[in-house]
Amino acid sequence: MLSVRDLTVRFRLRGGRSVAAVSDASFDLAPRECLALVGESGCGKSVLASALLGLLPANAEARGTARLAGAAGTASPDAPARPALDLLAADERTLARTVRGRLVGLVPQSPAAHLTPVRTVRSQLEETVRALTDTPRRERRAAAEAAAERAAFPAGHLDRYPHELSGGLAQRAATALALIGDAPLLLADEPTTGLDRELVDRTADELRRHTDTGKAVLLITHDLAAARRVADRVAVMYAGRIVETTPAARFFDGPGPRHPYARGLLDALPEREFTPIPGLPPELSNLPEGCAFAPRCPRVSAACAVRPEPRSQVACHHPHGEPGDPDRA
């Protein structure tokens, strides 16, 4: 469905300087698959999603490739497949008219910024139904209400304006809007923010149903419980780089992740060791020469002065599970 190679996003700063928020990110996403992209705040997860949809600010530039496989037209499953499209090379007209909402849906991290403040939730849902589907006019109201139900948005709040919604309700409204186009690829950027655990589980289950119909989901989240419920694979991001990609079963229930940072994320959970990772993530404008995690890593050695290249889907000089490792499972 999606093949990303060497995606790098740099922001130009005053004085001619620039800083890389995402560096050389590569991953694949297949139909019927959910890939969870996890990591601490500020590691570059949301910047990556914005790059895929052409939503970066004017002072940003992206390079690499992000090829979206050809997909049948949204109006009919029998429509001919489109050719593969490089999202990073597409112009704004193509992104606005062909990609956003139709081929790639977005659940935004900040839903309030994506909801029109002067229109009710119902009217925005119905307008999205009209724009993205061939639903007859007399059926649009029902289609909008069905989308709201899928996102667990209460019917009694459909005629409210965005400023009358709590953060959790705004998040569910944004999720409902993203689901309407039934896009082959869904980018869900922190879709469970502000939700209680019951609604988190319901949102995760809806994302799972989305993949079960043959579509793909890129779930960007810091909520590992939600990721465990829905993900097929987990990609761990640190300081702008993907440091490990592994099956979710291994990450959560099997031998565990191999990168020390990924292992630290799990150990910080309350139901596990509840041990926080020491220190703070580095400033992206002041990264160390070698491994960015080295100052916080219990396995650091002189070898870590050189940046590790990914080997077997993990970028670490001393990953867990190597021969001779006392923690090897």
pLDDT tens digits, residue range 121-132? 999 999 999 999
Cα–Cα distance for residue pair 252/313, rounded to 1 Å = 16
How much is the pLDDT for 81?
Answer: 61
Give the number of C-alpha atoms closer than 13 A to the C-alpha of residue 150, restricted to the C-beta side: 20
Please choose, from the candidates 2, 9, 14, the residue with its C-alpha nearest in 3D space to the C-alpha of residue 24. Answer: 9
Cα–Cα distance for residue pair 191/209, rounded to 1 Å = 15
Overall pTM > 0.85: yes
How much is the pLDDT for 28?
Answer: 97
Cα–Cα distance for residue pair 97/103, rounded to 1 Å = 10
Q: Is the pLDDT of residue 228 over 90?
A: yes
Q: Is the pLDDT of residue 62 over 80?
A: yes
Cα–Cα distance for residue pair 32/17, rounded to 1 Å = 41
How much is the pLDDT for 329?
Answer: 46
- pLDDT band with cut points at 50, 70 and 90 for residue 73: very low
- When computed from its CA atoms, the radius of gyration of the chain, rounded to whole angstroms, is 20
DSSP reduced 3-state for 147: helix
Q: Can you list the positions of beta strands (E) in the chain?
A: 2-12, 18-29, 34-38, 60-68, 85-86, 104-107, 185-189, 216-221, 233-238, 241-247
Condensed to tens digits (0 to 9), the pLDDT of residues 166-179 reads 988 999 999 999 99
Q: Are 88 and 26 in contact (CB under 8 A)?
A: no
Provide the percentage of residues in the chain whose pLDDT is more than 90.
78
Cα–Cα distance for residue pair 200/206, rounded to 1 Å = 10
How much is the pLDDT for 71?
Answer: 54
Q: What is the mean pLDDT of the chain?
A: 91
How much is the pLDDT for 114?
Answer: 84
Instruction: Please tell me which residue, 324 or 271, carries the higher pLDDT value.
Output: 271
Instruction: Please tell me which residue, 325 or 23, carries the higher pLDDT value.
Output: 23
